[in-house]
Chains A and B, each alone.
Chain A
């Protein structure tokens, strides 16, 4: 799978981590991930369709998710299962993917990518499987902990 699919999502994520969350960020290398990966415990998922069909994931530990939520709302949370932590994850997924899709749609007119609403899953031994999709990951090292960006796109598309 071409790494050009993931680049706009990484760019958007890094911008949001820095500008919106005030994190220090060090981007890692792009890796091919295959069709499944083990989650760190907290995963935000946004689907897209149009010229490309696939999924974008933001994956992190519960501790990181709690920290990000607190930064957004100014409140303290004791568990990643707190509704506001999940909602904060969803909001971040929304904004990062929204910015990435804007970038992609403006770069490739006619691609017309559209996003699904975000969903969030958190738990133990969490794993993600995208049937028949190959994916690319970039692990971003942030001052709130590592955050993985994963983009899975249907084969045969640009």
Chain B
């Protein structure tokens, strides 16, 4: 199972998206391969507040969210822990967004709709 590390523990993923359906789809894509979605947040502010209380190997982060968007939240989390791996999942894949993400040190931008096998590969690449 791709979501299990060599030491037998599961890869922990935090899922941040304002769409409950999107978060469900991420769980559906990752859990069968042994990943554990250890935390979820519905907007960037919730994600930043929750972050110090959890331990995630990778964060999947939507871009367009209310209160605080994903790019802002990713920057804030990187400030707390520059080594935190973050993948942006975005329905809008403008060059502007991709360049913005790069300039914030975000590790990957993957455009929605995501394909489960590719999402898994991209997460594993960051590990």
Contacts and interface: CB of A to CB of B under 8 A. Distances in A.
A20 B92 contact: no
B93 to A, nearest CB: 5
A141 interface: no
Contact of B112 (A84, A95, A105): A95
A105 B94 contact: yes
A119 to B, nearest CB: 14
A63 interface: no
Contacts of B20: 84, 87
A127 interface: no
B25 A94 contact: no
Interface residues of A, number: 22
Q: How large is the interface on B (under 10, 10 to 19, 20 to 34, 35 or more residues)?
A: 10 to 19
Given A19-B115, A74-B28, A95 B21 contact: no
A33 interface: no
Interface in B66-101: 90-95
A8 B99 CA distance: 23
A154 interface: no
Interface string A71-104: 0111000000000100110110011011101100
A98 B90 contact: yes
A106 interface: yes
B92 A101 contact: yes
A16 interface: yes
Contact of A87 (B21, B64, B92, B95): B21
A105 B24 CA distance: 29
Contact of B91 (A72, A74, A94, A105): A94
Nearest to B66: A117
Interface of B: 19-22, 24-25, 28, 64, 90-95, 111-113, 115
